[in-house]
Amino acid sequence: MSATNADAAPLAPPLPAKAVNDNRAHMNPLPPSVFTLPQTAQLEALYTIIRSKETSRGDFLFYSDRIIRLLVEEGLNHLPVVARTIETPTGATYNGVGFQGKICGVSILRAGEAMEAGLREVCRSVRIGKILIQRDEDTALPKLFYSKFPQDIASRYVLLLDPMLATGGSAMKAVEVIMEHGVPEERIIFINLIAAPEGLKAFCTRFPSLKVITGWIDEGLNEKAYIIPGLGDFGERSFETVAEASQGSSRLYM
């Protein structure tokens, strides 16, 4: 993102886009920090493709990338801009806006990694940190296994990437870790493909000023904490590997 006219005053952030969408079948009202994409027929068609178990891996990647790009675009709209005046090739003056603020991505391994390509298509050479969280078999609580962040993460806006939000356990742990590195809650934007109402509610109650961009809010969780209807295991479908650890479904949708 190119910062310009640093001395100009930041403009007001956009208003919540909720007026134009009706993604409330399973959650009404939405928490004020939750923003969804406009629930259009073509978006529903994209979700239908990636939900189907008949969809090939190639199609799964292509269509999930399309949604991720839209989610990232929506997320970026919550970054500040400044007024910027330029001259066009035709010699006219144009009053536009310039982007302000540096960003970085943080993906929650493993599935979040599959969202990095989409992020990079929208934000060239964006820095991306990683975080691995798994369930501690003894305490049944999410535990940080590994994290690697850009050094100056504290001065950046963070786009947190995790495609599936089920119980919200790992996402909340990830936010905790990022905040421990000096990033204030309101500078984190959580980018998410599918959310369960239970997890979304827990997450938003815990971090009320953290903006959540989600594409679709599903019915809920089943007894194994899978999102219903969901789309299966996002990481597995993206990378086409079945991790040993995930066989017992221990970590995936915490």
Q: Can you give the binding site for other proteins, defined by CB under 8 A?
A: 2, 11, 14, 40-42, 44-45, 47-49, 51-54, 62, 66, 69-70, 73, 76-77, 79, 81, 84, 86-90, 92-94, 96-99, 121-122, 124, 222, 226, 228-233, 237
Degrees, nearest 5: CA angle 183-137-236: 70
249 — alpha (psi -120 to 50), left (phi > 0) or beta? left
Judge residue 187's burial from the number of C-beta atoms within 10 Å of its C-beta, 0-12 exposed, 13-18 middle, 19 or more buried: buried
Give the shortest CB-49-to-other proteins separation in angstroms: 8
- In the complex, the smallest distance separating the C-beta of residue 233 from other proteins, rounded to whole angstroms, is 7
Using DSSP's 3-state secondary structure scheme, residue 157 falls into strand
Cα–Cα distance for residue pair 18/182, rounded to 1 Å: 30
From the CB of 134, what's the least distance to other proteins, in Å? 21
Distance, CA of 132 to chain centre: 16
Residue 54 vs 138, nearer CB to other proteins: 54
Q: State how far the Cα of 131 lies from the Cα of 146, in Å rounded to an integer.
A: 6
Looking at the Cβ atoms of 87 and 244, the one nearer to other proteins is: 87
Which C-beta is closer to other proteins: that of 82 or that of 174? 82
Closer residue to other proteins, CB minimum distance, 158 or 194: 194
In angstroms, the CA 215 to CA 24 distance is 12
Residue 157 and residue 99 in contact, taking contact as beta carbons nearer than 8 Å = no
Compute the distance between CA of residue 169 and CA of residue 251 in angstroms, rounded to an integer: 10
**Rounded least distance, CB 80 to other proteins, Å:** 8
CB of 208 to other proteins, least distance (A): 23
Nearer to other proteins, 60 or 149 (CB): 60
Q: Which is nearer to other proteins, 18 or 69 (CB)?
A: 69
Minimum distance from CB of 74 to other proteins (Å)?
8
